[in-house]
Amino acid sequence: MSSFLAHCTPWPAALAADYRSKGHWQGQTLSDLLALRVEQDGDHLAIVSDATRWTYRQLAQEVDRLAQAFTALGITKDDRVVVQLPNCAEFFSVIFALFRLGALPVFALPAHRKLEISYFCQHTEAVAYIIADQHGGFDYRPLASEVKAVSPSLQHVLVLGDAGPFAALQTLNSQAPLPAPPLASDVAFFQLSGGSTGTPKLIPRTHDDYIYSMRGSAEICQLSSESVYLCVLPAGHNFALCSPGSLGIFYVGGTVVMSSSASPDQVFHLISRERVTITALVPPLVPVWLDAASSLQPDLSSLQLVQVGGARFNSGMAARLVRELGCTLQQVFGMAEGLVNYTRLNDAESLILHTQGRPISLDDEVRVVDDEDQLLPVGEIGHLITRGPSTIHGYYKAAEHNARAFTVDGFYRTGDLVRQTAEGYLVVEGRAKDQINRGGEKISAEEVEHQLLAHKGVQDVAIVAMPDAYLGEKSCAFIIRRDNTLRAVDLTAYLRQLGLAAYKIPDRIEFIEAFPKTGVGKVSKKILRQMIEQRLASV
């Protein structure tokens, strides 16, 4: 048995043994699953992406080519590789090649820029960074040059498309013999945490724990080889990858259709052409799709299940979705740290419209506790803490933070405020963590505050969520400036130039003379939220 990756926290031995004995952890790797698919039905269509149509066999061939090529480059077990690809077929050939080697993808989002990517590369000591040449009007190659200049560990930049000064993924070739495959208990990759701290946190997930979540999710969603999943959200995000997402589809031998955009024109075309049966959305996309569907009248008759999650979903909009699309709605309340809750397909409508579901199995322990970690009576609102076969016991290289983020008996503090119904379903009521949920994109207030504080014109800053009709929440930065000539545009331009992802740049900046304080003299974000709410309501 190999030891667990350094700077990661393994599950306590007793829990691990329990999960194995109950069959939650079955000792399979993600590579094993792909090999099984090829064996069972290699000619089934696995991925559609633009003009690319790969069967499972073709996918596996691409995976082998890349695994050999990566090996020839010296990429090997436990090496970290930052993967920042748009939704395309090659996303999967790259990650399965890394899985085969036991090298560890770090799933960056396409929106991440220099600050985030160089942090991931430095923090994980990544040896390679994999990008597309361009996507969404952005050229990733100059970004890669900047990242490389500040990331001493980085040996390779590999590019899908026109490689410029780097190496092209498509032409890599080698006959290098492959090393022994990893173990199911090994860390397989890193997900990113939504985060509430100064620096982003990385989430080590193992093959065993991820496959537990994927298999359970695929069963709950009743996937089969007939299922066709439209991947609209970023492919590496936990929701799109594993709830049940693309990996859940591969597990049952279905087909994944990649969409590089969430615009109704493109997705409706793909849904009717490929006879898509299931897709996953964040709440802001729902009214956009519904409005467009009512005017364009596309053929969405193949669609059986629409999953919505990532942020609070209004029950009125949920009812509208069911009425207008005539398919099943599933609410999904998940987190990259592990726990995922689902409403079940045959649940009563009241549960589907008004709750965020329940965990995959009873071994996903969920507790609702007060500020002192004491269990609350069922129905009361409190902090959600959780432990289970897919929930991590520690972030990567974050010992100090881990001491606060987990209870002594290994429960993860989700930072969500929830209530549990008599049926055991969870309703998300709010948030205790210092985060803004911008339509499913998570922003750590502290991370952005930290960047703004480095500006010489800023004396102090506090970032809070403000209501937004479309996104649910947007971010508002309250700033005490040193100099009255400092303007909001100076600060947003500053953040952009530093290389912060666009979604983290405050949507609004309010200059203020002094912060309201709590009874113990801390900045009261609660009062700041009320202030901006009132200001927005009065215009």
- Interface residues with ligand J2J (CB under 6 A) are 194, 238-239, 243, 309-313, 331-336, 340, 356, 414, 416, 428, 431, 437, 442
For every residue of 340-368, which 3-state class applies, written as one string? Answer: EEECCCCCCHHHHHHCCCEECCCCCEEEE
If you search the block for the tokens 């980085």, which residue do you land on? 154
Q: Name the H helices within 284-369.
A: 285-296, 315-325, 349-354
> By the 8 A CB rule, do 123 and 190 touch?
no
Nearer to ligand J2J, 251 or 313 (CB): 313
Q: Which is nearer to ligand J2J, 194 or 264 (CB)?
A: 194
d(CA 514, CA 525): 13
Minimal CB distance to ligand J2J: which residue? Answer: 334
Which residues, including other chains, have CB under 8 Å from residue 320's CB and lie 6 or more apart? 286, 287, 290
Minimum separation from the CB atom of position 39 to ligand J2J (A) = 28
Task: Tell me how far, at minimum, the Cβ of 270 lies from ligand J2J, in Å.
Answer: 21
Looking at the Cβ atoms of 442 and 455, the one nearer to ligand J2J is: 442
User: Which H helix or E strand runs over 465?
Assistant: strand 458-468
Report the residue number, 25 or 313, with the smaller CB distance to ligand J2J: 313
Tokens read off for 536:
């927005």
Q: Residue 217 CB, nearest distance to ligand J2J (Å)? A: 8
Is 84 or 238 the residue whose CB approaches ligand J2J more closely?
A: 238
Burial of 262-291, coded b for 16+ CB within 10 Å and e otherwise, reads bebeebbebbeebebbbbbbbbbbbeebbe
* Residue 504 DSSP class: G
Minimum distance, C-beta of residue 28 to ligand J2J, in the bound complex (Å): 20
State in angstroms the smallest separation of the CB of 388 from ligand J2J. 13
Of 113 and 431, nearer to ligand J2J (C-beta) is 431
Residue 369: strand pairing partners: 375, 383
Least separation in angstroms between residue 73's CB and ligand J2J is 31
* Residue bearing tokens 């740290």: 337
DSSP 507: S
Please give the single-letter amino acid code of residue 326.
G
Nearer to ligand J2J, 285 or 311 (CB): 311
Cα separation of 325 and 279, whole Å? 13
What token pair was written down for 370? 């007060």
Of residues 69 and 385, the one with the C-beta less far from ligand J2J: 385
Place of tokens 């493109």: 266
Please say which residue, 116 or 416, places its beta carbon nearer to ligand J2J. 416
Residue 311 CB, nearest approach to ligand J2J (Å): 5
Q: How far is the CB of 209 from ligand J2J (least distance, A)?
A: 13
Q: What is the Cα–Cα distance from 300 to 326, expressed in whole angstroms?
A: 9
Residue 178: CB minimum distance to ligand J2J, A: 31
- Report the nearest approach of ligand J2J to the CB of residue 124 (Å): 18
Cβ proximity to ligand J2J: between 107 and 494 the closer is 107
Task: Categorise residue 410: left if φ over 0, alpha if ψ from -120 to 50, beta otherwise.
Answer: left
Hey, what's the torsion of the CAs at 438, 122, 234, 339, to 10 degrees?
-70
Min. distance of Cβ 284 from ligand J2J in angstroms?
A: 13
Spell out the residues 6+ positions from residue 294 whose beta carbon is closer than 8 angstroms to its own. Answer: 324
In 3D, which of 450, 471, 472, 474 has the Cα closest to residue 462?
Answer: 450
For residue 535, the tally of other CB atoms under 10 A from its CB is: 13
Structure tokens at 269: 């075309």
Name which of 234 and 254 has its Cβ closer to ligand J2J. 234
Q: Which is closer to ligand J2J, CB of 164 or CB of 287?
A: 287
Instruction: Identify whether 244 is preceded by a cis peptide bond (ω within 30 of 0).
Output: yes
CA separation for the pair 118, 115 (Å, rounded): 6
Q: What's 10's DSSP letter?
A: P
For the bound state, the minimum distance from the C-beta of residue 236 to ligand J2J, rounded and expressed in Å, comes to: 11
CB neighbourhood size of 421 (10 A): 15
